[in-house]
Chain A
Amino acid sequence: MKAGFGYVPAEQTWPVGTASFREMLTSLAAIDWFAPPSGPAAAARARQAFEDFNAMGYQALPKKFSPVLDVSFVDGGWAEFVQLCALAREKPGFEWKHGAPKEFTRAHSEAHGWRREDQTSPLWHEAQPHDFFAKIPHHMVMWRGPYLYLDEPDLVPEPEREIITWYLRYISLDIIFAVEWQLADDAPLAQNPFYRLFDCYRAGYYPFVFSPTNITLFRFTAAAE
């Protein structure tokens, strides 16, 4: 199934990093989400992507990221994916999924002198769909995207739709970290750890993080109806 941002990234322009953002967001919008991976090398590709991401994190924040990872693979259909998501929602360890990466991003932004509140931002009602920020009167500059949503949520039954929405929000947070990383320093995307992490999704694997050392990579064995 397809998911996107409500606009065509390749047609948008941003004040900085346009080429990077077009490539990053286009690659995410092109993914056939929650479908079985293709090709025998997909598992190795996904594992390498997460290990690379973790290694970059460990290099910057050794107290937040583990020097070694215990990676396990789980196969299944919607029932197993829903079950794994329910487990992740109950276990506080899953908070690592955005807690450590958030601090990783913040450290990088501070090192480059980047601050969200310094960003030029339209008032919320004047923002364009592709704008990353919006300003509320008498308040701060806020992120307003890019958030990843199913293109056709009405075609997905419950409880899958609710679970997918939840999981896509975590991916959206990864995307915001990736965008902030690039805004702070528009270096080649290969140096962006979150862009590296996206290779998990591109390979058809969905990470579940239950502690800094225990990573489960889920793959669908049956396509979503």
Chain B
Amino acid sequence: MEAALAQRDAGAQWPAQWRLSQRDQVILRDGFERFTAGRGQSFGDAVAALHAATVANIIAGRTFFLGQIERAPIVGSLISGIGLVELDAGIVVVRCTTRGAPLQLGGFAL
């Protein structure tokens, strides 16, 4: 967690190959900062942080249940399809497109 914070303070960005919109980058970053500032550990903490970031950055912002992977819920943006899910590897950022399997982008960490 300390290493993640240090990297974030150095101006770390989400990987360019994730092709996040500017809005998604801001909300994910804000969400991650809230998650780490609150010493979040669980997926529920991450969802709460993401929701708080969404509300803070979008008027009447909402988070949505987007689907599931391996019996784990995905929560995120309906418009972009970017969401969070908890897998064996930890909390992962995914992109939901169709009803099929979401694309796993990488860990929820800066």
**Which residues of A are interface residues toward B (Cβ below 8 A)?**
6, 89, 98-99, 102-103, 106, 124-125, 134, 136-140, 142-144, 147, 149-150, 153, 162, 165, 169-170, 172-173, 176
| Those 5 A-B pairs whose CB atoms lie nearest each other, nearest first | A144-B65, A138-B44, A153-B98, A142-B65, A134-B65
Measured CB to CB, the nearest residue on chain A to B98 is: A153
Among listed B4-12, B30-38, B74-82, interface-contacting one? B74-82
Contacts of A172 in B (CB 8 A): 78
**Interchain CB contact under 8 A, B59 and A124:** no
| Residue in contact with A170 in the complex, picked from B21, B51, B63, B79, CB distance below 8 Å | B79
Residues of chain B from 64 to 92 with CB closer than 8 A to chain A in the complex: 64-65, 68, 71, 73, 75, 78-81
Q: Give CA–CA (A125, B48) in the complex, Å.
A: 19
Complex Cα distance A103/B48, Å?
A: 22
Residues of B within 8 A of A102 (CB): 59-60
B71 cross-chain contacts in A, Cβ below 8 A: 125
The answer to whether the Cβ of B47 comes within 8 Å of any Cβ in the partner chain is yes
Q: Knowing A124-B73, A125-B71, A139-B47 touch, does A103 contact B60 (C-beta < 8 A)?
A: yes
Evaluate contact between B98 and A149: CB separation under 8 angstroms.
Answer: yes
Size band of the interface chain B makes with A: 20 to 34
Closest to B43 in A: A136
Contact A169 B79 (CB under 8 A): yes
* Contacting residues, chain B, for A138 (C-beta < 8 A): 42, 44
CB contact between B78 and one of A137, A139, A147 (< 8 Å): that residue: A147
Cα A89 to Cα B80 with chains together (Å): 11
Given A153-B98, A165-B98, check contact A142 B75 (CB 8 Å). yes
Q: Does B39 contact A (CB under 8 A)?
A: no
Q: List 11 A-B contacts (CB under 8 A).
A: A89-B21, A98-B79, A124-B73, A125-B71, A136-B73, A136-B75, A137-B44, A138-B44, A153-B99, A169-B80, A172-B78
Chain A residues with CB under 8 A of B99: 6, 149, 153
Given A138-B44, A149-B99: A143 and B60 interface contact (C-beta under 8 Å):
no
